[in-house]
Structure 1
Amino acid sequence: MDPIIEAVALFLGFVSWTMVGITIPNRYWKVSSLDGTVITTSTLYENLWMSCATDSTGVHQCREFPSLLALSGYIQASRALMIAAVVSGTFGVVATLIGMQCSKAGGENYVLKGRIAGTGGVFFLLQGLCTMISVSWYAANITQEFFNPLYPGQKYEIGEALYIGWASAVLAICGGVCLMFSCKLGTEKKTAYSYHPTRETVYSASASRRETQSTYGKNAYV
């Protein structure tokens, strides 16, 4: 595998893994459309863990969600998917570092190192898919509530954290695909040569055998 492709894939995977770590604690997963109105609470925003509000004086107040079981199903699923993305990205970074050709961790067996690097690509791809599903599912619920005229609760818009999550997913998928399709995952191929003796070779071998037998017969009784 080209070391440049390995370095680029590792860079993409590491950046995407870092962006996932930024996305999870970001408070702006969804933001209210009340910003700028002349009321006490000017902005409402939420993430997977808490709900916050900012009044007209700039004072922030946050309240964590009281119960996990009382949350909506998509929030619970998004939490699980984002945690799985962080874990997968961690394994992906470690496996890619070990499987790179310039790394001494895996020894000199480049076939094994290629397989390890390919496994890192699988982890990066899994990280990207988990992040993409989590962020897209969360955004779909925001838009569904926003455009529903019969929805009685507070309507929100897509926050900046979701855009960071989408960018992270794209980078992780690109890095994983580069590693999966560029690494040497198979064993070393050996070219098989078939031997087909010619007629001259057969005659030469027969003549040599007769001469050997004749010599042995002459010297047997000396």
Structure 2
Amino acid sequence: MKKTLIQVMGFLISTTGWFFVCCTLAMNYWRFTYIGGQGGYWVIKAAWYWTTLWRDCYTDTTAVDNCREYDVLWVINPRNTAERGYIQTVRGLVLFGMALGFFAAIFCFIGMDCTYIGGSERTNDIILLTGALFHFIGGVADVAGYCLFTIRLGRAAFARMSSRGVLRYQIGPPIYLGFVGSFCIILGSILYVVTVYRILVPKRKVDASMPRKPMTAKSYVPLAKSKTLYTEDHTASIHSDLSRPLSKLSGHESRVSHITEISDRDDFV
């Protein structure tokens, strides 16, 4: 029951994370800036510049959006080439993570104990471990994509602090939502691995056919000491026999002689 509950929690958390990541691809305002609103006719002067992974847009206070789709990756202007290059890298990382997340969700759904699809318990654990690995790699790829976008944005903002007339963008809500979703994905993969860690660290096999008797302090006698005790007892018995009087030994000698006579007679026969 505890294992199944952890797997269900991991499935819900990782699925929520992938939902957040998918939402960021369709959201606007990955980066934005605000200009105007002071002096003059403010209805026309105020404007917002914002971008996504797919286009640059301009919105004024009349609520009219003017957008320009990103052109091809390689263009003649080197500056535009660097700009489009990092955008394409962010796209590739996020989409690569989503592709892995699709297969990871399928594997984890099949390998969970509550679905009864995978087969035996070991087969389910192996499938679930594969899905958890895909979840983890996909989450790391998404984090790398969002970090690359943030680092590029911050570097451009600090490099243009001294330049006048240059737009300095801020980080938009999709980036924060993407970070939250990526960490949810990684957390879900960790919960999956917790339930199947026995595959990575198997139990030691103990041979039950050979019972082990616990050794106590009384039963342990060193070999040298046992030999000494045996020798002393044997020597003491010999000395006690020699110290007996002849009257007490006569019966013993008669029995020995009687046995000797019978054995000689048997040999003669």
The question of a shared fold, defined as TM-score above 0.5 by the shorter chain, is answered with: yes
Counterparts of 1:57-76 in structure 2, within 5 Å, are 57-70=62-75, 71=81, 72=83, 73-76=85-88
Structure 1 Cα separation of the partners of residues 206 and 103 of structure 2: 36
C-alpha change, 1:185 and 1:195, in structure 2 (3 Å) is closer
1:192 corresponds to which of 207, 218, 243: 207
Q: How far off is 1:182 after superposition?
A: 2.4
Which residue of 166, 175, 186 corresponds with 1:173? 186
- Structure 2 residue 60 is matched with structure 1 residue 55: yes
CA distance in 2, matches of 1:142, 1:50: 16
Aligned length in residues = 197
The CA distance in 1 between the partners of 2:16 and 2:36, in whole Å, is 32
Q: Between Structure 1 and Structure 2, which shows a larger proportion of helix residues? A: 2
Report percent identity of matched pairs: 25
Deviation at 1:26, TM superposition (A): 1.3
Q: Which position in structure 1 is the counterpart of 2:138?
A: 127
Q: Which structure has the larger Rg over C-alpha atoms?
A: 2
Residues 189, 116 of structure 1: CA spacing in aligned structure 2 closer, same or farther, 3 A cutoff?
farther
- Using structure 1 for the length normalisation, give the TM-score: 0.80
Deviation (angstroms), 1:19: 1.0
Deviations 1:148-186 (A, max 9, x none): 224574210000110110001110110111112321425
Counterparts in 2 of 1:188 and 1:100: CA distance versus 1, 3 Å: farther
Q: Name the residue aligned to 2:97.
A: 85
Indicate if the aligned counterparts of 1:121 and 1:180 stay in contact, CA closer than 8 A. Answer: yes
Contact 2:18 2:182 in 1 (8 A): no
Structure 2: unaligned runs, 5 residues or longer: 76-80, 212-269
In structure 2, the CA distance between the partners of 1:104 and 1:194, relative to structure 1 (3 Å rule), is: closer
> Which of 157, 160, 163 lines up with 2:170 in the alignment?
157
Q: TM-score, normalised by structure 2?
A: 0.67
CA–CA distance in structure 2, aligned partners of residues 92 and 22 of structure 1? 18
Q: CA deviation at 1:189?
A: 6.4
1:9-59 Cα shifts (integer Å, max 9, x gaps):
000111111111101121211011327454546101101111111112011
Distance 1:35 1:98 in 2: 55
Q: Which has the higher contact order (CA 8 A, sep 6+)?
A: 1
